[in-house]
Structure 1
């Protein structure tokens, strides 16, 4: 029987690369994003992914999350793997005391609460041998001025991952996290095109390995944590950042 995999935020960047990887290996893949237009672009470039079960979901809306998991339970009965990846563009950048309260709250919901809610639903559809990977960030293990709420949300996700991992392993379900560093995705491409043409070289200059990660390098870590090769790894955060967190 084919394993069922949920990847949130699967229409771009790390999420899309994760969808491609699991689909190519023959898994039944469910993914979601807020925009059908973005997914149509994906299908145009990757027609083989038309067999992926794509759902339009705003994960910041509790009722839409409920509907997503009702669909998964009805259509598939259970999940074997979940990758909680979705993360919208940062809307709360700047000095913490000056950022609008609504923007701070939106980041908290998008980068912590939505993952927590998905995690709760996923566990209810899983049994012994299942695996969950939360996509955190290098900013969840170090301070991040000018992105304080994002950093706080990822720190929260780290704490949630480690704590719930100890609960879930009693049922044979492994929960871990991946903390990417700077990864060259469409979001960075857009910043390069609209804000700073030199941003790539400037950022690479502060990364010890002197380059951005490719999405596939982050997915290699996600895939490993979901596999039997990491069968003794529980509640761990695998940092994939080219040494950035060491500086």
Structure 2
């Protein structure tokens, strides 16, 4: 089986910065056509704007709030207009909020379920329908017709009171990955996920900039590989899940955390 995604068309959400941007850039480097999707139009334009104006451009961007159902439909339409099809979806858009577990007015759980779970679920449903339609149009009745990869967090398996909402949304996304995998397998669509440990995401970079060296040192001490990973290190794992190399794998959530969950010092933040 091949790791190649050359010639495939992918939608990557959260692609204006951090993890999503690293995945989207890597996919372009590997020969895929990529729709960079995010709410931050200014950042998308800065990262992708000039490249998408070139003849035969293999990257375009779409800006919009994917919590809105109409925006999801518009994203899919924009991708079809640009590339005629979609073969891969990477749900990499994530939000992290600190939660007060004793405050009944704290709405962070609902906010993050909407952002981290429901957005990925709705987009997966829309893209899956398109993949099925493409296969029917091409009279393709053999092999896998599409792949979906959900980017979550090891916070979904750990208990940290200040990350209550984020942990709940991450755990829910893991379960959605497993449930969608079983539901879409008969349609020849594979669904898998990745649970991240401490990757230098935009959120973590911001937190480290606002803190002293103690926070960075604590995260490093909590990780057997003794470092924080670069976003680019995740991209090849996602490529593996999106490619034929993982052709018999569904419903799996791969852990990419430098060994963090093997020793489980739950007092340290997980991102």
Query: TM-score, normalised to structure 1's length?
Result: 0.90
Change (3 A) 1:126 1:147: same
Q: What corresponds to 1:241 in structure 2?
A: 257
User: RMSD of the alignment, in Å?
Assistant: 2.0
Deviations 1:11-52 (A, max 9, x none): 1111111111111122110021111211233248xx656642
Residues 77, 125 of structure 1: 8 Å contact kept: no
Residues 20, 49 of structure 1: 8 Å contact kept: no
Is residue 227 of structure 2 the alignment partner of residue 211 of structure 1?
Answer: yes
Q: What corresponds to 2:76 in structure 1?
A: 69
- 151-160 or 35-44, larger mean C-alpha shift: 35-44
Change (3 A) 1:237 1:48: same
Q: Choose from 112, 120, 130 the match for 1:107.
A: 112
Residues 139, 154 of structure 1: 8 Å contact kept: yes
- Give the C-alpha shift of residue 220 in structure 1: 1.6
The gaps in structure 2 that reach 5 residues or longer are 1-5, 133-143, 265-271
Matches within 5 A, 1:1-247: 2-43=7-48, 48=51, 51=57, 52-88=59-95, 90-91=96-97, 93-98=98-103, 100-127=105-132, 128-246=144-262, 247=264
- Give the C-alpha shift of residue 186 in structure 1: 2.9
Deviations 1:125-156 (A, max 9, x none): 21433111000111122323211111111111
Change (3 A) 1:236 1:70: same
Residues 44, 63 of structure 2: 8 Å contact kept: no
- Give the C-alpha shift of residue 10 in structure 1: 0.6
Query: TM-score, normalised to structure 2's length?
Result: 0.83
The gaps in structure 1 that reach 5 residues or longer are none
**Matches of 2:158 and 2:218 in 1, distance apart?**
20
- Give the C-alpha shift of residue 176 in structure 1: 0.3
**Matches of 2:92 and 2:211 in 1, distance apart?**
25
Change (3 A) 1:198 1:42: farther
Larger Rg over CA atoms: 2
